[in-house]
Amino acid sequence: MKSPNIESLYANLNKPIKLAESYSEINKLAFIIKACRLKPSEYMDNRSPNIILYRKWYDEFGNSFNLTKNKKVQIITGDLSVKSESCTDIYYGLSILKVSKMSKLVFVSFGKDDDIHDDCCVITFLGVDNYLRSYLYFHEDWQQVSPLMLGIENLKIIAKNLDIKYFNKLLKRKNSCMPCIAVQTWLSFMPASEEFTELIRQECNYILPLFTKED
């Protein structure tokens, strides 16, 4: 099931979203915009019927996604210039366990906190409704966070591997989504294979319930 509000919005923004992708020369940017539930600030203030290149987009966590004039992407967390909006995700507030069971792809990044060496982990699920939902595990607790936290390079990796049939270990990248040490990052289809589940059991046991088949 999809949110009719966000679906209606994206139907109206179909051409501007395609224009943003063409301008940026970022393959699958249209997917990233929709999967992260981004909205263009200018359009939300003045819903013009014209096809406009919208450079500033924002999410429901108060972060912005900006296309610069040199075709780079700038993500600003906690952008005070964007308006707060009510959440349009009908599944927001569900437990991470329930979200894992209704997802078809997962991005997992885990490591140790630099200062106190606690476990830290970022997990992003792509739901069957094609929206991304991200969670941060820190100090033994899960908190839902913005998918923009992953950074544009990791979002592009997800977008390019929507049809993944197994799982892949991703090479460490400069724009790691966590300031941690010994970070490992994986991408897998869901439900996870027995091999990936066993890997999680060995490397990051505390997230294992998200990948087992038991309810």
Taking the C-alpha atoms of 24, 57, 78 and 133 in order, what is their torsion angle to the nearest 10 degrees? -90
Q: CA triplet 133, 134, 137: central angle to 5 degrees?
A: 145
What's the rounded Cα separation, in Å, for the pair 56 and 192?
36
**One digit per residue, pLDDT tens: the chain, 215 residues?**
455 589 999 999 999 999 999 999 999 999 999 999 999 988 887 787 889 999 999 999 999 999 999 989 999 999 988 877 778 898 998 999 999 999 999 999 988 665 545 678 999 999 999 999 999 987 778 999 999 999 999 999 999 999 999 999 987 655 455 555 567 899 999 999 999 999 999 988 889 999 987 64
For residue 20 the two structure tokens come to 């943003």
Q: What is the pLDDT of residue 24?
A: 95
Q: Return all residues near 27 (Cβ < 8 A) that are at least 6 apart.
A: 21, 156, 159, 160
How many CB atoms within 10 Å of residue 124?
24
Q: How far apart are the first and last CA of the chain?
A: 21
Q: What is the pLDDT of residue 141?
A: 85
Q: What is the pLDDT of residue 123?
A: 96
Sequence-separated contacts (24+) of 43-48 with Cβ below 8 Å: 43/13, 43/16, 44/83, 44/85, 47/12
What's the rounded Cα separation, in Å, for the pair 22 and 31?
13
**Whole-model pTM?**
0.90
Q: What is the pLDDT of residue 131?
A: 97
How many CB atoms within 10 Å of residue 143?
11
Amino acid in position 74: Q
